[in-house]
Amino acid sequence: MRAVYGQHWRINLLTALEYRENFLLWSAFTVVYHGTAIATLWVVLHTFPSMNGWDFKDMAFLYGLWMLAHAIHDTVFFGVANVPEYIRDGEFDRLLVRPLDTLFAVIAIPGQIFPDELILALGYFVVATVYSGVRVDAIFVLCVPLVVLGGTLIELAINLIVATIAFWFVRVDALRWIVLQLEQEFTRYPIGIYSRGVRLFLTFVFPFAFMNYFPATYFLHKSEGALGLPPVVGLLTPAVGLIFFGAAYVFWRFGLNRYKGVGH
Amino acid sequence: MALAVRPRFRFEPYVEFGKKAIAREATYRFEVFTSIGSFVLRMYLLRMVWVALYAHNAAPRGLPLHAILTYSAVALLMGLVLDIDQVSSLYDKLHDGSIVSDFMRPILVPLYFFADGTGEVLFHAALVLPALALALLIVHIDVPSATTLATFALSFVLGYFVGFCINFILNCVAFWTLEINAVQLIVTFLTDLLGGELVPLIFFPLAFQHVLFALPFAAMFSTPLLIYVGEIGPDRYASALGIQAAWLVGLAIVCVVLWRAGSRRIVVQGG
């Protein structure tokens, strides 16, 4: 399994080297994507110094937490997003007869993935942490990697659920796209600005708030926790990630056992 | 009768190309669903963001809460039309080589792309009405005086053509590189920010504003929007529209130059 995964990365990196201009342009896009998002926050908070008590420094850290979890997801688990496409053109049936676990087989399909976003996210996170003045103590060093991995699992779980739905409804582009947008938009600001229903949704249904909002309230020592929860719930992200991913995986197995192919 | 005076150029085929494009777009029903869904989501989000910001800070000069909500709503509605790449068929045709058959047809090829793109845009423009109805459920939209509305409409049309030229130029790049997706996305994200679609340019620090107002992105979104909310008053209409027109002329010249150079060195891969 490890050997297969090693080959996956070897092919990824070779592909990136082969299509150098294209790779450089996509890297430039990654920089522009995150750059414009952060610049938008900066411009808004330049005119309005506080958003529910959060200033630009806080928001820079909030974005950094999400960016890191999101970058790990996109780098390691991007293949999951391609499942609907594989199902549509029959490619998926080939994965089913492989001797390794199907989900692993999906993740190990080489694409044109290069860890450029991950490198950018790591660099940005270090800068944002120093800039926001978060105290870097033993708890921070111990908890941040776990929180980030928990956030990655939350994003993976959502994508796995969407991919599983494709077993029944082959075309799920619209759904996937809406879920993607929900995640991107609702992780950008402190969730205290939304109505109670939306806050409950972001905490218990699609727990995006655990990707960055709750951990950030803890690390930034914010007294305000949306829904009246104490900031320390932010450290529950790894558990939330595991539970959510576990549920998504059970659903995936359920779908996989009922999958009959689309008739190729 | 007047049309018959010109023997060689006929307008009707291009109207037909436009109608074809409308019919083609109408078959992608799920895209309609997603663009309306995304519109509602972003409208709700922007309302929440601005309400929270205005509740905790002093309102900036000239743009009270109702004005910024109007700005955001109109910006999102404009985006339904302006965010479309109406020249993407040029890229597609360059990519699969079918552009060759277009050059053999007795038509002006650039005008064909214009007609095709206009049809595509007109179909999406029909979404503005249901989107507007949904937006009104979320926010209140101010309606300015008739003069302001007319100037806004004129400015919007100029902005639309500036956007068309930018898309035409980007798709022309495919004559040389064949791949433009990344470049196009970079320009889209820069337009969102630097054109004032998300945040009014008057919220940027002054030093930035001087540069941003001189860029073509501002001519697409910012100018019509600032006219709508009254931030650009009647005394500045002429200069604001003038800058838009200047960009339009400049970019149109670039389009012509690129098209001539590109169509002369057309490369079709295999097929």
B174-196 pLDDT, tens per residue?
888 777 888 889 999 999 999 99
Residue B10 CB partners (closer than 8 Å, separation 6+): B3
Q: Do B203 and A53 touch (CB under 8 A)?
A: no
Residue B244, domain member (yes or no): yes
| Residue A145: per-residue pLDDT | 96
pLDDT band at A225 (very low <50, low <70, confident <90, very high): low
**CB neighbour class for B167 (10 Å; exposed up to 12, middle 13-18, buried from 19):** buried
Per the model's pLDDT, the better-predicted residue between A109 and A196 turns out to be A196
Q: In this model, does residue B5 exceed pLDDT 70?
A: no
DSSP letter at B98 equals T
Contact B205, A45 (CB under 8 A): no
| Residue B105: per-residue pLDDT | 77
**What integer is the mean pLDDT of A228-236?**
87
Q: What distance lies between CA A41 and its chain's CA centroid? A: 20
Per the model's pLDDT, the better-predicted residue between B23 and B145 turns out to be B145
Residue B190, domain member (yes or no): yes
Which phi and psi (to 5°) does residue A87 adopt?
-65, -45
Residue type, A144: V
Interface of A with B in 176-205 (CB under 8 A): 177-178, 181-182, 185-186, 189, 192-195
Residue B33, domain member (yes or no): yes
Which phi and psi (to 5°) does residue B19 adopt?
-65, -40
**CB neighbour class for A60 (10 Å; exposed up to 12, middle 13-18, buried from 19):** buried
Cβ neighbours around B199 below 10 Å, total: 23
Residue A258 CB partners (closer than 8 Å, separation 6+): A167
Q: In this model, does residue B1 exceed pLDDT 60?
A: no
CB contacts, 8 Å: B179 with chain A: 21-22, 25
- In chain B, DSSP assigns E strands to none
Q: Do B182 and A182 touch (CB under 8 A)?
A: no
Residue B26, domain member (yes or no): yes
Q: In this model, does residue A264 exceed pLDDT 70?
A: no
For residue A100 the two structure tokens come to 């390794």
Give percent above pLDDT 90 in chain B.
49
Query: What is the rounded CA–CA span in Å between residue B223 and residue A28?
Result: 28
pLDDT band at B28 (very low <50, low <70, confident <90, very high): low
| Residue A251: per-residue pLDDT | 96
Residue B269, domain member (yes or no): no
Q: How many inter-chain contacts (A to B, CB under 8 Å) are there?
A: 85
Give percent above pLDDT 70 in chain A.
98
Residue B72, domain member (yes or no): yes
Q: Which domain holds residue B84?
A: 13-264
For B207-222, write each residue's pLDDT tens digit: 999 999 989 999 999 9
Q: Do B30 and A177 touch (CB under 8 A)?
A: no
Mean pLDDT lowest among A53-62, A81-90, A208-217, B6-15: B6-15
Residue B126, domain member (yes or no): yes
pLDDT band at A143 (very low <50, low <70, confident <90, very high): very high
ipTM of the prediction? 0.84
Apex B152 CA angle, B150 and B155, nearest 5: 110
pLDDT band at A110 (very low <50, low <70, confident <90, very high): confident
A194: nearest CB among B48, B189, B190: B48
Predicted TM-score (pTM) of this structure: 0.87
| Residue A65: per-residue pLDDT | 96
pLDDT band at B2 (very low <50, low <70, confident <90, very high): very low
| Residue A211: per-residue pLDDT | 95
Residue A18 contacts B where some CB pair is shorter than 8 Å: no
Domain tally for chain B? 1
Residue B7, domain member (yes or no): no
| Residue B4: per-residue pLDDT | 45
pLDDT band at B111 (very low <50, low <70, confident <90, very high): confident
